[in-house]
Amino acid sequence: MLKLIAIDLDGTLLNEGHEISNENIKAIRRAEQQGIEVVIATGRAYFDAHAICKKAGLANYIISCNGALIHSREGQQISAIKMEKTDVGHIIKWLEQRNYYYEVMSNNGIYAPYSGREILQIELEGLKGTRSTEHIVALQKLIELMHGQLGMVFVNQYQEFIGRDDVFYKVSACSFDEEKRKNGVNQFMGMKQLSMASSFPSNFEMVNQKASKGNALEMLAAQLKVSFDQVMAIGDSPNDISMLERVKYSVAMGNAKEEIKALCNFVTLTNGKNGVANAIYQVLDTNCE
């Protein structure tokens, strides 16, 4: 019998308006009424994910920063896996020298360059004429979404924050130039102390090698005394793979890439059609049989 459901945010629980639909909220509450624990598992910063859930009237366990942090429903930090400050400094120095947009998630905010929007806009202009209008519009919305995250702190250069007492959990970089993005991935893939993933096609993200959504979900399940064969995970992106490939019940969103769908037991509807609610209701029906 199912006892725990882990749900990704972007592209999964959040619809195209980047909100949690009323139908998804109802489904989560129905699951909780039946004694199933629901946990949010996201690449976003904790305070950003918490604000999204609070707006929807939800209070859940939250796995954030791709598994680097776990918080209780009450906001208590359960687990934290930090990145070494020297690694963060090395990564950001390299990214700044090559004009990448980046974000550094810490306990005090999300650091990003003042020049970040301009960098991405220039890359976006370079795509016009080679991509569809719909694709260009989607990337423009992505720029606005990144800059609209709660806790953004803009800096001129990384020296402004690297010397502070912050604890760093995740570094992400984004480029609409495919060759540039691949160069960044290749540059840091060899750092064995890091784990690398991606939450959307234009970015790459780095955390401590011990951090992943899958590892965090296993840790939380153990703390809640839930067997891992009683866990379901729902996601759409490569940074969800570590949890989707471990749980007994894995669900891919209808909008997920084919490689994600191939990993999963079941493919639900898209995030714009309440795919999370659809998956939860099907499982609840099975639980009641």
Single out the residue in 208, 233, 264 at which a domain terminates.
Answer: 208
Asked whether residue 140 falls in the same domain as residue 58, the answer is no
Query: Tens-digit pLDDT profile for the chain (289 aa)?
Result: 899 999 999 999 999 989 999 999 999 999 999 999 999 999 999 999 999 999 999 999 999 999 999 999 999 999 999 999 999 999 999 999 999 999 999 999 999 999 999 999 999 999 998 899 999 999 999 999 999 999 999 999 999 999 999 999 999 999 999 999 999 999 999 899 999 999 999 999 999 999 999 999 999 999 999 999 999 999 999 999 999 999 999 999 999 999 999 999 999 999 999 999 999 999 887 665 4
Asked whether residue 204 falls in the same domain as residue 89, the answer is yes
Using alpha carbons, select from 39, 33, 15, 94 the residue that is nearest to residue 233.
Answer: 39
CB 272, CB 279: distance < 8 Å: no
The pLDDT value given to residue 285: 74
Domain containing residue 187: CATH number = 3.30.1240.10
Total of domains in the chain = 2
Whole-model pTM?
Answer: 0.95
Single out the residue in 157, 179, 208 at which a domain terminates.
Answer: 208
The pLDDT value given to residue 287: 61
Domain containing residue 281: CATH number = 3.40.50.1000
The pLDDT value given to residue 1: 85
Domain residues for 47?
Answer: 4-81+211-288
DSSP, res 84: P
- Alpha-carbon distance of 276 to 267, in angstroms, equals 10
Supply φ then ψ for residue 192, to 5 degrees.
-65, -20
As annotated, the active-site residues are 8
Single out the residue in 165, 192, 208 at which a domain terminates.
Answer: 208
